[in-house]
Structure 1
């Protein structure tokens, strides 16, 4: 899409050589070249003749004559009230490499129901509250804080986040142990690098677990090893046997199985960390959304010296608000801050202040309460539709969050079902996509029953019904003996 510059747009980098060819010819030649090379796109507005003349230090008449000549040649078009623009039909001199391919690639199927995991309801993002918070931040933020941020991030936001974590998640954190980052993945990257710098060489990851965490760990210089998840969460005995001194877990609502880490496993996991002088990284990604019982407290509150808690607003507000935090034991904070200092100048100060104000005002909690009701209603519709189509007991992980696990009939192919669903406008991922490394060898050596990960955060109730009915028809039509 052509950018519609207002009032002529930014300056043009035309360089005129005094004493060379006539100035008008130089203007024409350079504009022709810019249009042929597509540096100026079809329909793009040019500066007014007065503006360009002042920029180049030539008479306005010189620019007027140049524009008129290019209009006559078909390079430009001019209308009263619309200014001068690059002609919509470019000349034949345009670069052939920019020409459209002779055969257009086939259009991908249109996705009408998207069961992708991890996306909140984007239509319910409280943009009015966020806008008010930004206005208030702009009005009240001291000018001294408009420069580069302090290495750990906004003191105000660190105070608010740690108070929130203590109050809502039963954590034990202080502003001095908090680092503000641009989302969960950035925080994870910095924390893993700090662990590697402290001498930790191997980290255990849940299998199945969040995608690409093994890649992030290896980029930080750590060896990543899988540890299976069962009905009570990560298997701590297998963790002990792995030789790892760090473990990354999703204890409140395991991704993607949806199980909560059992109380005995929570205690055993903390004991393991103390046994090996290790560290637990807690991905607290959707703990605010619990439906069937009170929220489970953060692991970080059980042993703040052994747990690094990572959080963000990607699930509670929107991924576009790229703010998160790392709550770490004091001994790791300098390493995390140093990784941040060398990698980025930090998150925007106005956004950090706006989030602090939003959380302090109570509007953040009001939004969470509203979303809890919306997601509970969608979860109930999903459960009813799955039971109608597949029978009872097929849907798991419903106590919290915005996704659940749909167990397919024995012998069903996750891949075949997902591909057939996409062809019918329904996007869904198989459980195999969350296996460690997503390799055939991993899944064949340690297979899991076939299942689909159903994210319902950004899907309304009618689309949930439609998507499950499509999946039901596909499963019925495919041979149950199909192998993955």
Structure 2
């Protein structure tokens, strides 16, 4: 049926095949009879048993996987004809600390026990949870114990677990920033959670419209809003915490790239101000590599049991060895040294892209603080940013139109990820974008 034997091919004589396989001839005779009964072979006098003409199943049409990935707008899918993928969310994968990872992995393997490689705690390896608590307390102001940490397969799985628990509690909708991550909205929708847009301005999420939604849960990116790049202002933070103090209220804090702040230390996580009102999400996707699928969720203690049960039902627990290696990197200081190196590289790349945009798109305005792995370029009023992104794509540059990440109407823009390319390539990208704007 797979076509390995062409129509008309003769099968071995039953005696020969029986001897070759070390079975009785009767077994082979029965097998050949079954093939004949199913119409896959034909016993012909003088010719033995042959494969019939119609035995091969028509091949399945080839799946266009690359097109599917592009339609999902995944940042790592690069269509044909694109040599500069500026999709947001792509880190500098060439900077992955291979030597440090290998040292840490060897150290882990030297002392790992059989128990460490078992199913273990579905919430994560104790050593990693302890290391994360110390790291996040020092760098992000997070308040938690090791038992509060749930290690998961990136922020995406953390959002999935939260969506499942919220649905089980009767919460069928979540307020989200607008503009905000299209991927997050799609993720929640896949798990049956509707999203309600709340506008974002220069100071972050508008808390008044959040009240107007009547919803109990909001998901936001306060340290570096995606995609505008603004930081939630202190007065908005206070207002949001006051909103969260209401009964059954919950803030989902996606701290997706706070480690990449170039002009000063990032603002502290909101979770430290209200641990029982904020579920904190983070990962190594922007600091190490998204392919590691390592993240963490620190939720209010009142929902931790449900989240742990959902995690166990999902996959029994995250891969043990990468967890232990990350714990070793945290303990040795290699993770922090890697971040310092990456921040220096990314600041140079951001500066190069900014300089290129000033030279080739002087009429465009760049929004956001000096942080993260992307820029938002606001385009002249009246520009169709989707059509413009298509023109840019014709020059070999892939970028996201801001409209992809909006539910409410607003100014047009282009989101440009810069982490994966050298400064000279980013200058070339800015030149092509400027050329496209002039056509």
Tell me the TM-score normalized by structure 1. Answer: 0.75
**Structure 2 stretches of 5 or more lacking a match?**
1-11, 24-52, 68-77
How many residue pairs align between the two structures?
A: 387
1:447 and 2:409 are equivalent in the alignment: yes
Alignment of 1:163-178 (within 5 A): 163-178=134-149
In structure 2, the residue corresponding to 1:311 is in which secondary structure?
Answer: strand
Aligned residue among 244, 255, 271 for 2:242 = 271
Aligned to 2:430: 468
Alpha-carbon distance, 1:356 to partner = 0.4
Alpha-carbon distance between aligned partners in 2 of 1:23 and 1:388, rounded to the nearest angstrom? 81
Q: 1:390 to 1:160 in 2, by over 3 A?
A: same
Alpha-carbon distance, 1:23 to partner = 4.4
1:240 and 2:211 are equivalent in the alignment: yes
Alignment of 1:5-84 (within 5 A): 21-25=13-17, 56-57=21-22
**Structure 1 stretches of 5 or more lacking a match?**
1-19, 28-52, 59-91, 437-445, 478-484
Q: Retained in 2: the 8 A contact 1:249–1:282? A: yes
Aligned residue among 70, 78, 103 for 1:132 = 103
Aligned to 1:303: 274
Q: 1:99 to 1:404 in 2, by over 3 A?
A: closer
Alignment of 1:305-320 (within 5 A): 305-320=276-291
Q: Retained in 2: the 8 A contact 1:310–1:324? A: yes
Q: 1:108 to 1:147 in 2, by over 3 A?
A: closer
Q: 1:26 to 1:415 in 2, by over 3 A?
A: farther
Q: Retained in 1: the 8 A contact 2:364–2:377? A: no
Q: Retained in 1: the 8 A contact 2:88–2:417? A: yes
1:388 and 2:359 are equivalent in the alignment: yes
In structure 2, the residue corresponding to 1:275 is in which secondary structure?
Answer: coil
Alpha-carbon distance, 1:25 to partner = 4.8
Instruction: Output the aligned Cα RMSD.
Output: 2.5
Q: 1:157 to 1:23 in 2, by over 3 A?
A: farther
Alpha-carbon distance, 1:411 to partner = 2.0
Alpha-carbon distance between aligned partners in 2 of 1:156 and 1:253, rounded to the nearest angstrom? 29
Q: Retained in 2: the 8 A contact 1:137–1:357? A: yes
Which stretch has the larger CA shift, 92-101 or 360-369? 92-101
Alpha-carbon distance, 1:198 to partner = 3.4
Aligned residue among 318, 343, 367 for 2:314 = 343
Q: Retained in 1: the 8 A contact 2:155–2:283? A: yes
In structure 2, the residue corresponding to 1:150 is in which secondary structure?
Answer: coil
Alpha-carbon distance between aligned partners in 2 of 1:301 and 1:271, rounded to the nearest angstrom? 14
Aligned to 1:480: none
Q: 1:161 to 1:413 in 2, by over 3 A?
A: same
Aligned to 2:421: 459
In structure 1, the residue corresponding to 2:287 is in which secondary structure?
Answer: coil
Aligned to 1:286: 257
